Structure 1
Amino acid sequence: MTTVEVAALRRPAWRGGFGRLWSAAVISRFGDALRTAALPLLAVRLTDEPLAVASVTVCAYAPWLLFGLLGGAVADRVDQRRAMWAVDTVRGLLVAAFALAVDLGHASIALLLVLAFTLTTLQTLFDNAATALLPSLVDREALGSANARLMTGQQLAGGLLAGPFVPLLLAAGAFMPFAADAGTYLLAAALVASLRTRPPRREPRPAGSTLRAEIGEGLRVLWADRTLRAICGATLLCNIGMGALIATLVLHVTRWLHAGDAGFAAAMTAYSAGSLAGGLVAQRLARRTGRLRALIVAGTVQTGCLLLAGTVRHLAALLPALPLLGAMSMVWNVNQVTLMQQRAPESMLGRTAAAFRTASTSGAPLGALLGGAAARAWGLNAPALLAAVLFGFAVTSLISARRRDVPVVVPDGGATTGHRAA
């Protein structure tokens, strides 16, 4: 069995730019949550056609499959800080224009779909650039803590704080959540623009190098790293399972458990609260076990939670299962992103992150379709059990990958040889 040594886990300094990046990410996620909650409510006002309403969600996923790899290649070519604030500025102006259209009564379902598609297309560049930028703001040994703080802050802002504001803003006007979202984009852009970062270390591109060739390089880096490849495959399986569960959770709670709307609200709150707790324990678990083992532990606990949710027909079983599921999801996300940042070459981090994110994200819409089909064929608890099976396969694949991984040696100077900090 492979022994993996982990570098000393340090906390990121709020000075030096990380504090501003954290603030920008949290503010932007708060605005995103306002818009995400308001979009379906506006959609049902504009049309009674279920397919048209569902298309809003499709438009939020499709750009990742179409442009995710391209966004990563562009992120490795440009100044990531400038790309991020430019994208947020454009998104702020677009949402502000949409808010004005809503206020003037000119909103339509077609305009809404175009907005959702365009915002997510721009997000493919922003998110890949943000993943590649973070290592220039904090030490490598502090990446895990930095990712945990970023994700926990975003979950707090988007999962808990934004919810109560939505009805208040809607009471002031249907355009208000979008106007507020536009303001958060512009504020986040200003914060990112104020960052001072060192230029990324990039080798000169060969003459005639194309985006297509560079995308291929990112895919090859991901495929060549056995551990990253295994984590990507495991994350894909987990996303299929989570897509199946989330798409049918309202039916699971309100019909299979007969817990009503209040039960569904309690379930969602429990999951969000668990996610916040997961951000606090992600680093502690990694310190004790190593990052790859932390993923295995998280996946194993999640499998048990899903089995409990799918077999015990009582809300009292679901409510403790969901916080654990949320906590371990955060543990998984923090350590998965950190491993990718530590193992991928700095000059190719945007492309590697894009390849990883595009491959793994594709599981969510597929899972939603499978969840609906499973619920119809075998019962409303079937998606939870399907998710448990997929999580079990994911854990098994990681155990196998860990046994084949190479040791990591961390010299006293802090630089690493071989693969880093698994």
Structure 2
Amino acid sequence: MWSAAVVSRFGDALRTAALPLIAVRLTDDPFVIASVTACGYLPWLLFGLLGGAVADRVDQRRAMWAVDTLRGTLVACFGLAVGLGHASIGLLIALAFALTSLQTLFDNASTALLPSLVDKEALGSANARLMTGQQLAGGFLAGPFVPLLLAAGAAVPFAADAATYLLAAALVASLRIAAPERRPGPAGSTLRAEAAEGLRALRRDRVLRAVCTATLLCNIGMGALIATLVLHVTGWLHAGNAGFAAAMTAFSAGSLAGGALLAQRVARRFGRVRGLFLGGSVQTASLLLIGTVRQLGVLLLGMVLLGVMSMVWNVNQVTLMQQRSPQAMVGRISAAFRTASTSGAPVGALLGGTVAAVYGLNGPALFAAALFALAVVSLIPALKPDVSVVEPDDGVTTAHVKP
């Protein structure tokens, strides 16, 4: 499963880099080009919760390899259209929408499947290794290959992405695990009703509700920062394109360090919820530095810390959700988390642009710091002593606060 995740993320990074270049060849209309990006978010808002409901109904392993096979076929067909000169902006938008629609099922099924592969006390380490491997493949390894593949032809990155999908499908299909037992649903139960049941379960759990709220606030803040970071670096710091590239590299390097070295250590030392509290506090301080100190070195330090603590947050948030959720509802609760996260990013991007226009190019970083501070405050109810819905035996998930 780790190999499938890493291979698939490598191919996704190739395609993601190639898509904008294909788009600008097909049209110079900024609104149309932006629509391609928007289609990467819209299916999560439309189908994210339903994808979680489907993931809880079906055999997750079969769903994952079937989805990857279909995605590989779609990308291969698009690559063929590009190679034959028949690509169009409409076809590009349709591809982006279809791939993300299928991803709503795949990602939720993957999250729900992991507890069937490893013991619950190993979930934190498994999530850290998955996320670190994906960050390495997508953030570092794929980058140097993009210009080489594009030099070989505009269709080549899509052909490579299709091959990685099909390889990932074969790897997932090779897993030999017993499908988890599922209680039959009530007669006449619909996907909408089952998705609503997942939302109610999330709302009833005080810890997961607080973590979901905090994650939404953080994603709005990160959406605002990332959408305007190029303006912050080139316009406010006057560091040019090289400075922007260095900032993104610093964030990726921090993410790798956070996943490989710190996520589990923080959880063992402080507990998962207090680990989130610590991560959010450090990120708030980092954003304040980025927004107030006009030096490239400080920006790079802040981006490293943001990357480290974002991985600490992601690993512990996902693991906490998997361990506290009833096994039969992991997909639906996962869908609620992801839908909230995805809705936060585009909202944050729009707000970030508005803040930059009104308050200055460093405004989005300070705006993000305020949202992260609110996220930290929203975690306070989750710090109270609590007995989890499905109590894990890993010694780090439930943080007991001393009087």
TM-score by length of 2: 0.96
Q: Does 1:323 align with 2:307?
A: no
Provide the residue aligned with 1:136 in structure 2: 116
| 1:124 match | 104
Select 1:272's aligned residue among 232, 252, 258: 252
Matches within 5 A, 1:70-81: 70-81=50-61
Give the whole-Å Cα distance in 1 for the aligned partners of 2:135 and 2:397.
28
Report if the CA contact (8 A) 1:342-1:421 is conserved: no
Which amino acid in the other structure matches residue 355 of structure 1? A
Moved more, 47-56 or 337-346: 47-56
The 2-side partners of 1:314 and 1:382 are apart by 16
Give yes or no for the alignment of 1:190 onto 2:170: yes
Q: Deviations over 1:31-81 (max 9, x none)?
A: 000000110111111111001111111000010000000100000111000
Please list the CA deviations of residues 295-341 of structure 1 after superposition, one character each: whole Å capped at 9, or x if unmatched: 00000000000000000111111011101100100000000000000
Q: Which amino acid aligns with 1:136?
A: S
SS of 2:40 mapped into structure 1: helix
Deviation at 1:360, TM superposition (A): 2.6
**Counterpart Cα distance in 2 of 1:192 and 1:80:** 10
Unaligned runs of 5+ in 2: none
Mark the CA change 1:233 to 1:41 in structure 2 (over 3 Å): closer, same or farther.
Answer: same
> Counterparts of 1:318 and 1:120 in 2: how far apart (Å)?
32
Alpha-carbon distance between aligned partners in 1 of 2:284 and 2:155, rounded to the nearest angstrom: 41
Question: 2:273–2:382: 8 Å Cα contact kept in structure 1?
Answer: no
Question: How much has 1:400 moved relative to structure 2?
Answer: 3.1
Aligned to 2:367: 386
Root mean square deviation, CA, Å: 1.7
Residues 409, 387 of structure 1: CA spacing in aligned structure 2 closer, same or farther, 3 A cutoff?
closer
Aligned-partner Cα distance in 1 for 2:202–2:259: 26
In structure 2, the residue corresponding to 1:60 is in which secondary structure? coil
Cα drift, residue 210 of structure 1:
1.1
Counterpart of 1:196 in 2: which secondary structure?
Answer: coil
For residue 261 of structure 1, report the CA deviation from its aligned partner.
0.7
Question: Which residue is equivalent to 1:357?
Answer: 338
Partner residue, 1:377: 358
1:85-234 paired onto structure 2 within 5 Å: 85-234=65-214
1:390 maps to amino acid: L
Q: 1:221 to 1:408 in 2, by over 3 A?
A: closer
2:283 to 299, 302, 306: 302
Q: Distance in 2 between matches of 1:377 and 1:254?
A: 18
- C-alpha change, 1:334 and 1:420, in structure 2 (3 Å) is closer
1:25 to 2:5 alignment: yes
Q: Does residue 1:62 correspond to 2:17, yes or no?
A: no
2:325 matched residue in structure 1: 344
Task: Say if 2:21 is the partner of 1:41.
Answer: yes
- For the Cα contact (< 8 Å) 2:136–2:256, is it kept in 1? yes
TM-score, normalised with respect to structure 1: 0.92
Supply the distance in 2 between the matched residues of 1:343 and 1:316 (Cα, whole angstroms): 40
- What displacement does 1:420 show? 5.7
Residue-pair matches, total: 398
Moved more, 192-201 or 32-41: 192-201
Q: How far apart are residue 355 of structure 1 and its match?
A: 1.3
| 1: CA distance, partners of 2:346 / 2:393 | 40
CA distance in 2, matches of 1:239, 1:57: 17
Once the two structures are superposed, residues 278-310 of structure 1 have per-residue CA deviations (whole angstroms, 9 ceiling, x without a partner) of: 002100010000000000000000000000000
CA distance in 1, matches of 2:221, 2:32: 25
Q: Could you tell me which amino acid in structure 1 is paired with residue 26 of structure 2?
A: L
Distance across 2 between alignment mates of 1:415 and 1:330: 23
In structure 2, the residue matched to 1:367 is 348
1: CA distance between counterparts of 2:131 and 2:303? 18
* Secondary structure of 2:39 counterpart: helix
**Pairing 1:333–2:314 present:** yes
Deviation at 1:401, TM superposition (A): 2.7
Question: What CA distance in whole angstroms lies between the structure 2 residues aligned with 1:44 and 1:396?
Answer: 43
Q: Secondary structure at the match of 2:86?
A: coil
Matched, 1:51 2:31: yes
**Kept in 1: contact 2:324–2:388 (CA 8 A):** no
Aligned to 1:10: none
Q: Residue 168 of structure 1: SS of its match in structure 2?
A: helix
Contact preservation (8 Å) 1:233, 1:360: no
Counterpart of 1:244 in structure 2 is 224
After the TM superposition, which segments of 4 or more aligned residues of structure 1 sit over 3 Å from their partners? 407-411, 414-417, 419-422
- Alpha-carbon distance in structure 2 between the residues aligned to 1:385 and 1:400: 25
Instruction: Determine the C-alpha separation between the residues in 1 that align with 2:394 and 2:257.
Output: 30
Q: Pick from 379, 383, 390 the counterpart of residue 398 of structure 1.
A: 379
